[in-house]
Amino acid sequence: MNEYKKSKIKSKIAWGIAIFFALIQLVLTLTPFFFMIVNSFRKQFDMLQQGVFHLPDPWYFKNYFEVVTHGFFGYFLRSVIVVAISLILMLAISAFAAYPLARMKFKLNAFIYATIVAMMSVPMHVTLIPIFKLTTNVGLYDSLGSLIGPYVAFALPMSVFILTAFMKTIPKEIEESAEIDGCNKFKNFFKIILPLSKSGLSTLAIYNGVSMWNEFAFANTFLITPAKKTLPLALGQFKGEHSLNIPINMAVLTLSVLPMIILFIIFQDKLVKGMMAGAVKG
């Protein structure tokens, strides 16, 4: 009994220490967010006068008004367009490619699969100059179209990898019975495989949607005109125009993070699963 009591006390102390550190981690995580949100509600010069730990006095909402009326929605909309087009293309093309790799026997299957998977580890910076050259040559430089090709291509290897594994789990018998009923491979794909792959596709959509939404290096290289830039570039644009007005910059930041936080709250489990799927890519 004495032993039991001792171990109980020990475990209570251990939990106490653990919760102490958990709270420290909580404070470390939240402080920058607190800084961002609180300061976005100040007037420009109030920040330095009141100090950062003081709540805004008065709460000032015009920063958001200013940001929204100065092109924020344009950046937002352009990001939505690029991500939507790239995602739809990417999902269709990767499902197309995964189908034969997962479910057909042909000579080069293993080789093609290995080649595609190997592409996961190519860093985008190695491709930046040639793709820059390519976009200028075909006249896509400084247009949203320049981003779609690279976004789709760089998301493909990982998506094909995940979808191939996913499609392998669909029982063979379903397809065989359809084939006896006179379905060819194309009908099989659209009528059976694609609908059954929905949950794999939605996981991939979330993971790749987040990384396309946040993509910076390609966008920063290919887009020059402010009226053509995507959301990750909006931050730099606003900072350039209001470099001394920190609260306005904080409002831009808050608005750009908000959609992600709302998405996270709605699709928490899916998002986490999607990120796990992306983990193989690193």
Partner 1 sequence: MEKGRNIGLARAKARSTAKAATVFLLPALILIAIFIVYPVIDTFAISGFKWNGISADKIFNGLGNWKELLHDEMFWKSFEHNLIVMVFSILLQIPIGMLLATFLDAGGKKFNFFKIIWFLPYLMSSVAIAFLFVYALATNGGLISSLATIINGKRTTIDLLGKAPNALYTIIGVMAWQFTPFYMVYFIAGYGNIDTTIYEAAIIDGATRGQYIRHIAIPLLGPIFKTACTMSLIGSLKYFDMIWNMTQGGPAGTTELMATYMYKLSFQQFNMGYGSTVAAGMFILITAIALLFNKVFKVKEDY
Q: How many CA atoms, within 13 angstroms, populate the side-chain half-sphere of residue 74? A: 15
Tokens of 131: 């793709």
Contact 44, 62 (CB under 8 A): no
Taking the least distance from each CB to partner 1, the nearer of 5 and 125 is: 125
Closest approach, Cβ 231 to partner 1, in A, equals 8
Work out how close the CB of 227 gets to partner 1 at its nearest, in angstroms, rounded to a whole number. 19
Query: Measured from the CB atom, is 74 or 100 closer to partner 1?
Result: 100
Q: Which two tokens stand for residue 27?
A: 């404070």
Q: Report H helices in the chain.
A: 2-40, 46-50, 62-67, 73-103, 109-118, 128-137, 145-168, 172-180, 185-188, 194-196, 198-214, 217-222, 231-241, 246-266, 268-278
Sign for the CA dihedral angle at 82, 87, 93, 94 comes to positive
Going 121 to 122 to 124 to 125, the CA torsion angle's sign is positive
Shortest Cβ 135–partner 1 spacing (Å): 11
Least spacing, CB of residue 206 vs partner 1, in Å? 12
Which value, in Å, is the radius of gyration of the alpha carbons in the chain? 25
Q: Rounded to whole angstroms, how far apart are CA atoms 131 and 143?
A: 14
Nearer of residues 81 and 276 to partner 1, judged by Cβ: 276
Shortest Cβ distance from residue 198 to partner 1 (Å)? Answer: 18
Amino acid at 102: A
Q: Which is nearer to partner 1, 81 or 280 (CB)?
A: 280
Residue 281: DSSP 8-state: T
Q: Which of 265, 257, 264, 260 is nearest to 36 (CA)?
A: 257
Q: Which is nearer to partner 1, 177 or 268 (CB)?
A: 268
| CB nearer partner 1, residue 77 or residue 261 | 261
* Longest distance between any two alpha carbons in the chain, whole Å: 81
Residue closer to partner 1 by CB (options 68, 112) is 112
Give least dist CB 245 to partner 1, A.
Answer: 11
Smallest separation (angstroms) from partner 1 to the CB of 86? 11
Nearer to partner 1, 59 or 186 (CB): 186
Q: Which among 165, 211, 174 is positioned nearest to 192, based on CA atoms?
A: 174
At its nearest, how many Å lie between partner 1 and the CB of residue 61? 20
